Structure 1
Amino acid sequence: MSSEPPPPPQPPTHQASVGLLDTPRSRERSPSPLRGNVVPSPLPTRRTRTFSATVRASQGPVYKGVCKCFCRSKGHGFITPADGGPDIFLHISE
């Protein structure tokens, strides 16, 4: 058995570790929707819709009634029809 203490650990000397503290680390970044006008979703946006929501709405039925309740923050509510039928769900968006 040897009574000598083990040698102190030596810092690595391979090329990959040289200069790590001297230069800032750089890495490849994935595209961000906030940089370079990258669209994050393949779904159609308002500007690329091909069929007008106004045209589509004008082709549907017309109901008359009284607004029973409406949530401005969520954009939906119910209308009680004048003809006495069941309440009609209403949703609006910008």
Structure 2
Amino acid sequence: MAFTDVETAQVHEAVTSDPTGEDLCKLGILYSTGQGGEVDYVEAHKWFNLAALMGSEPAKYYRQEISDQMSTFEVASAQRAAREWLSTRH
């Protein structure tokens, strides 16, 4: 799935306001595919994890897919980053 520059900007904007699970899943896709930068599985996992918490079924699938390519340390780092992001939202 490819995103236009406008869609990429919209996703980043949504994350700073009131994101949906779909927004967070899209951000995970951006990081997992390297669209607009380098591939970053830790960051992608973080966003997929947060999207999954919001009920996104695709995010659950994508999170598992990239987890298989990550070390235990990387997964733990992503989970920690997701918790930190959640703590700043409340």
Instruction: Work out whether the TM-score is over 0.5.
Output: no
- Please report the TM-score for the alignment, with normalisation by the length of structure 2: 0.18
Instruction: Indicate the structure whose relative CO is greater, using CA pairs within 8 Å and at least 6 residues apart.
Output: 2
Query: Which is greater in Rg?
Result: 1
- Please report the TM-score for the alignment, with normalisation by the length of structure 1: 0.18
**Bigger helix fraction:** 2
